[in-house]
Amino acid sequence: MRLGDKGLDPTKDFSLVSRGMVENGSRSFKPPKKVNIYENWNILKKYFDSFEDAIKELKPLVEKVATPKKTVTVMVSNFGQSELLVNFVCAAKSRNLDISSIIVFATDLETKDLAEGLGLVAFFDKRNYGDIPSEAAHHYGDTKFTAMMMAKVMCVQMVSSLGYNILFQDVDIVWYKNPIPFFEADTPELQEFDMMFQDDGGHSVRYAPYSANSGFYYVRANAKTAYFFSSLLTSGDVILETKSHQQALIGLLSEHVSLFGLRVKVFSRDTDEFPGGFHFHQKSGKYMKRLFDADVDPYIFHMSWTLNKDNKLLFFQQLGEWYVHDQCLHKKPKELPGGIGGDFAAGCCHSEPVFDCHFKDKPSKLPCFDSPSIDKGGKSFWKPDEFKGAQ
């Protein structure tokens, strides 16, 4: 690029730049600062010192939930995100889906008790997760969000080290169908890949070249993927600098594909199987209208691309995928029906989803013509004549 002090300058000679250089002269990719490096060292020291003890506790739990083909579904949650975890379970139960492969890495005791009360296997490693805030992140990239990103690295690395295939997913997901058979099937076009990701939808330089979504992916257990997650673990300083587990993961994917032949597939955002926030928020809304008309048959919906948990809840209600009783929102396990040790699913899950309008300019299973817009100048998602056949 021809760069001057203030960005592009045609009078200057060409100079080598990083791939993240933009026209104003700023860089999308910056090396971690010394404070990030030292902080990551402290995190890693604690992690390595406790690793053997933690693995001994984790191993029987993973063995308990693994499918016959050795796949484990890994989720991680703090108490601030727990309503989304409850909704995932309730949605799955409403469809009679098998969720026995799940292990929840709880970052506090309240979430462990909650997960177990929902019938899930849960693991709480106080040595590594004890300092993670229990509150929900206020927005993408804040300190609470970043702490949870570190937890997302640790939990997958632990399970990977035990030699299991992994389906990792965030808590802001609902299943329409169990996706594990899709990944475990002897399908030649999928068997050749070591890692498979939902497309994030955003194809910016920051997430180039893969645009992989780090909130829903499948990993086959082998030497290449085990080393990948070991390397990602030691890249925590990049996560701390960028405030993005996703950016660090994608950058490492490129390196390991080149060096070790790691085989990576990202399902195109134009395919129907794994929709998410890109489809929910894109202006045309074509996919969402096909979803409401039952013209597509996806496995999941991932409410990514969303500012915070509160908005995710509202969007799930408009989507027609919210199943949690109001009496169970923002409640600790001891305050839920049955108390600690009780069957929380029985007391907290609706058998049918709760629908509610919030924003007319976001996708909704039914029209929300009388609701306000959330985006400046946002227009109604549905047009009166367009909705006639959508019910």
Q: Are residues 43 and 25 in the same domain?
A: no
Work out the angle at residue 229's Cα, subtended by the Cα atoms of residues 62 and 50, and round it to the nearest 5 degrees: 60
Does residue 295 sit within a domain?
Answer: no
| Region for 41 from its dihedrals, namely left if φ exceeds 0, alpha if ψ lies in -120 to 50, beta otherwise | alpha
Identify which has the larger pLDDT, 307 or 367: 367
Q: Given 232, 267, 302, which residue is the final one in a domain? A: 267
Q: Are residues 154 and 258 in the same domain?
A: yes
pLDDT at 136 over 70: no
Q: At what angle do helices 143-161 and 245-260 cross, to 10 degrees?
A: 40
Domain containing 12 equals 1-29
Does residue 363 sit within a domain?
Answer: no
**Which region among 46-55, 67-76, 123-132, 218-227 has the lowest average model confidence (pLDDT)?**
123-132
Q: Phi and psi at residue 342, in whole multiples of 5°?
A: -85, 175
pLDDT at 152 over 70: yes
pLDDT at 389 over 70: no
Does residue 349 sit within a domain?
Answer: no
pLDDT at 142: 45
Does residue 332 sit within a domain?
Answer: no
Q: How many domains does the chain have?
A: 2
The pTM (predicted TM-score) of the whole model is 0.91
Identify which has the larger pLDDT, 2 or 278: 278
* For residues 9-32, average pLDDT: 73
**Which region among 20-24, 65-69, 331-335 has the lowest average model confidence (pLDDT)?**
20-24
Q: Are residues 112 and 163 in the same domain?
A: yes
pLDDT tens-digit readout, 324-334: 999 999 899 99
Q: Are residues 25 and 101 in the same domain?
A: no
* For residues 359-371, average pLDDT: 96
Does residue 171 sit within a domain?
Answer: yes
Nearest alpha carbon to residue 313 among 80, 144, 83 = 83
pLDDT band at 273 (very low <50, low <70, confident <90, very high): very high
pLDDT at 335 over 90: yes
Q: How many CB atoms lie within 10 A of CB 352?
A: 8
pLDDT tens-digit readout, 294-304: 999 999 999 99
Tell me whether the omega of the peptide bond preceding residue 209 falls within 30 degrees of 0, making it cis. yes
Q: Are residues 21 and 73 in the same domain?
A: no
pLDDT at 13: 76
Q: Are residues 4 and 49 in the same domain?
A: no
* For residues 261-267, average pLDDT: 97
**Which helix (H) or strand (E) segment is 240 a member of?**
helix 236-242
Q: Given 267, 287, 312, which residue is the final one in a domain? A: 267
CB 245 within 8 A of CB 237: no
Identify which has the larger pLDDT, 25 or 96: 96
Nearest alpha carbon to residue 72 among 103, 35, 37, 108 = 103
Does residue 45 sit within a domain?
Answer: yes
Q: Are residues 200 and 66 in the same domain?
A: yes
Does residue 162 sit within a domain?
Answer: yes
Q: Are residues 120 and 9 in the same domain?
A: no
Distance, in Å, from the CA atom of 160 to the CA atom of 222, rounded to the nearest integer, reads 9
pLDDT at 391: 44
**Size (the chain), residues:** 391
Q: Are residues 8 and 141 in the same domain?
A: no
Q: Are residues 258 and 150 in the same domain?
A: yes
pLDDT at 140 over 50: no
Q: Are residues 225 and 129 in the same domain?
A: yes
Q: What's 103's domain CATH number? A: 3.90.550
Q: Are residues 121 and 15 in the same domain?
A: no
Q: What is residue 95's three-state secondary structure? A: coil
* 300-302 vs 7-8, strand pairing mode: unpaired
Q: Given 267, 297, 314, which residue is the final one in a domain? A: 267
pLDDT band at 20 (very low <50, low <70, confident <90, very high): low
Distance, in Å, from the CA atom of 156 to the CA atom of 121, rounded to the nearest integer, reads 16
pLDDT at 23: 67
The two structure tokens encoding residue 325: 């009783």
